[in-house]
């Protein structure tokens, strides 16, 4: 995936299309100890209309041009290699593996590469140093971006969002294709030789093929917003994962493949990940693969080519696999007083669009990290975590994640405006929904999230406060307004700041005791009763409410985001028992 999650960093790092290896790769038997051996291979099924048939072994020879499919540098897709990569790959072995994988990718994708794809290696420490804050590192951007991730309740008030993003990409990327350099870079543990799983190499080579046919440096492949960037990745990464898993399935079935290295290649120790960020950036890999699978089934590879030329515009389109998904205009007018200013040079005129995928992760992450039941208040915290893991539609060779839920399914648009006022930070988040019921569902879930962190009931029409004490990650004041299909959220350090940001809001200040000025503490309105729906106090199943799973999740190498999440959930289960 491209490294960045925001428009500014996207523009700076469009050259990096990196894969986060998150799957159990299908088992692959090591080839016998011979140089090159032919291997019987069943056909992949009837060719799609307009597909280019693969060459036979007899047609494939050294010096053949790029017009043949399934043959590269004289290597036919049905051949096999004689070496294992127990001690890594030398240059000759890496070149042979690349030629064979290119031939096999051609056979699966049913079109030829146009030119060679060089493969280089870089150590994990070098990669981490090169990519740290690799996007827009200006102070204005970093402060703006901090507010975006704080608004999503994923990165706390005292934590630097850019550092959290760096830790995810620095530790979880095993390889990437660089369109600006027309080459693949494999990230390897410090002091070790190159090692890469064949399906991972196939993934990156598919990016190279995309670049040769579509030019991945073109402006259409850079989203103007976080949601737009993730949506574009839905087709870019979706096609790569679709080909990758078909490759892995063939390795498990009837191809003889070099066995993937232990840990999936590019491993090494990594810092603890912010699973909120990780699960956000993983969305295109799962939903995108399903999106591409539907395109191929409906219209063959030609439908994928057409979508590459006109990429998806929202994660909602990819999540629901609906190219005609309709958005609504978001109505927002900057009426802030008291010295509050937006960041007109960041985002789109100062605004970010979070989108459906990020909003889902926002609510789900509260269960994993803070043990608050938000998405489904009548279920246990563990069940709320499981919502993300119980995807109805599965990929062929790996578990998939579910980003669809009634609380966020009705997304129709959003604009998030970070503000600054001296050393004070705040934001106004205007959201739009398909129906009033959708808006109410989102509003109620957001109120549940607030009250879980604030540990007090919500008073409708009143600014809500989360005290800055006991290590609260999201302290300050919040205003939540629903008007028909619109929900607007305002945050500032103090209740007075909320009314400065939204002077026309129909919100009352809380009294000195933290309740509304009427003092009734009813907590009514739109169904938001302030409960967290948990098994114990503060949403904790064992009642302690303060044990954060995410900060204790083990660090992991590159091939196991899925494995590491499972480990984190196992730790969560033990603590909650």
On whether residue 37 sits in a domain, the answer given is no
On whether residue 516 sits in a domain, the answer given is no
Range of lowest pLDDT (113-117, 127-131, 375-379, 537-541): 537-541
Q: Within a 10 A sphere around the Cβ of 155, how many other Cβ atoms?
A: 25
On whether residue 199 sits in a domain, the answer given is yes
Helix (H) or strand (E) holding 451: helix 436-454
Angle at 209 between CA 184 and CA 562, to 5 degrees: 60
On whether residue 24 sits in a domain, the answer given is no
Q: Higher pLDDT residue, 519 or 67? A: 67
On whether residue 49 sits in a domain, the answer given is no
Q: Please give the mean pLDDT across all residues of the chain.
A: 80
On whether residue 245 sits in a domain, the answer given is yes
On whether residue 395 sits in a domain, the answer given is yes
What is the pTM for the complete model shown? 0.82
Range of the domain at 306: 113-262+271-509+553-576
SS3 506: coil
Q: Is the pLDDT of residue 528 over 80?
A: no
Domain count, the chain: 1
SS3 303: helix
In this prediction, residue 83 carries a pLDDT of: 81
Q: What is the mean pLDDT of residues 351-377?
A: 97
**pLDDT tens profile 302-325:** 999 999 999 999 999 999 999 999
Confidence tier at 577 by pLDDT (50, 70, 90): very low
Tell the residue number behind the tokens 């038997």, with chain if given.
29
On whether residue 3 sits in a domain, the answer given is no
Written in H, E and C, the secondary structure of 376-427 is: CCCCCHHHHHHHHHCCCCCCCCCCCCCCCCCCCCCEEEEEEEEEEECCEEEE
């Amino acid at each position: 995936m491209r490294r960045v999650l925001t428009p500014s960093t996207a523009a700076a790092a469009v050259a990096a299309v990196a894969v986060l290896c998150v799957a159990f790769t299908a088992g692959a038997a090591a080839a016998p100890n011979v140089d090159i051996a032919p291997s019987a291979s069943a056909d992949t099924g009837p060719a799609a209309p307009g597909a280019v048939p693969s060459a036979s072994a007899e047609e494939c020879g050294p010096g053949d041009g790029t017009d043949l499919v399934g043959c590269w540098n004289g290597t036919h897709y049905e051949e096999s290699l004689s070496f294992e990569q127990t001690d890594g790959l030398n240059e000759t072995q890496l070149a042979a593996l690349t030629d064979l994988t290119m031939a096999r990718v051609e056979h699966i994708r049913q079109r030829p590469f146009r030119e060679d794809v060089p493969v280089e290696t870089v150590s994990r420490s070098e990669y981490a140093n090169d990519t740290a804050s690799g996007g827009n590192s200006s102070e204005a951007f970093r402060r703006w971006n901090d507010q975006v991730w704080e608004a999503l309740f994923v990165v706390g008030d005292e934590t630097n969002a850019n550092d959290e993003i760096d830790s995810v990409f620095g530790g979880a990327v095993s390889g990437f294709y660089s369109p600006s350099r027309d080459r693949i870079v494999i990230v390897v543990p410090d002091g070790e030789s190159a090692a890469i799983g064949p399906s991972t190499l196939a993934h990156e080579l598919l990016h190279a093929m995309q670049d040769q046919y579509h030019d991945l440096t073109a402006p259409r492949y850079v989203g103007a917003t976080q949601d737009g960037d993730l949506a574009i990745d839905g087709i870019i990464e979706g096609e790569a994962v679709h080909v990758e898993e078909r490759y892995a399935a063939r390795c498990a079935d009837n191809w003889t493949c070099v066995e993937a290295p232990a840990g999936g290649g590019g491993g090494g120790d990594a810092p603890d990940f912010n699973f909120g960020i990780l699960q956000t950036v993983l969305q295109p890999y799962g939903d995108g693969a399903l999106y591409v699978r539907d395109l191929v089934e409906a219209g063959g590879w030609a439908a994928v080519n057409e979508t590459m030329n006109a990429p998806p515009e929202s994660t909602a389109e990819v999540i629901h696999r609906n190219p005609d998904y309709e958005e609504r205009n978001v109505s927002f007018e900057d009426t802030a007083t008291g010295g509050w200013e937006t960041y007109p040079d960041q985002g789109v005129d100062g605004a970010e669009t979070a989108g459906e995928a990020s909003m889902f992760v926002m609510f789900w992450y509260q269960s994993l990290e803070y043990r608050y039941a938000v998405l489904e208040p009548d279920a246990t915290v563990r069940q709320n975590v499981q919502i993300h893991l119980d995807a109805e539609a599965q990929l062929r060779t790996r578990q998939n994640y579910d980003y669809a839920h009634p609380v966020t399914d009705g997304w129709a648009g959003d604009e998030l405006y970070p503000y600054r006022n001296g050393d004070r930070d705040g934001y106004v988040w205007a959201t739009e929904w398909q129906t009033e019921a959708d808006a109410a569902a989102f509003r109620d879930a957001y109120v549940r999230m607030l009250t879980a962190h604030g540990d007090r009931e919500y008073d409708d029409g009143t600014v809500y406060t989360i005290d800055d004490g006991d290590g609260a990650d999201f302290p300050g004041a919040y205003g939540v307004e629903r008007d028909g299909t619109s929900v607007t959220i305002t945050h500032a350090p103090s209740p007075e700041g909320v009314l400065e940001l939204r002077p026309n809001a129909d919100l009352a200040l809380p009294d000195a005791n933290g309740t509304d000025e009427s003092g009734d503490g009813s907590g009514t309105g739109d169904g938001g009763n302030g409960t967290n729906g948990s098994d114990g106090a503060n949403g904790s199943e064992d009642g302690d409410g303060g044990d954060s799973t995410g900060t204790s999740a083990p660090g992991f190498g590159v091939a196991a985001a899925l494995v590491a999440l499972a480990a984190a959930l196992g730790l969560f289960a033990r603590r909650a028992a």
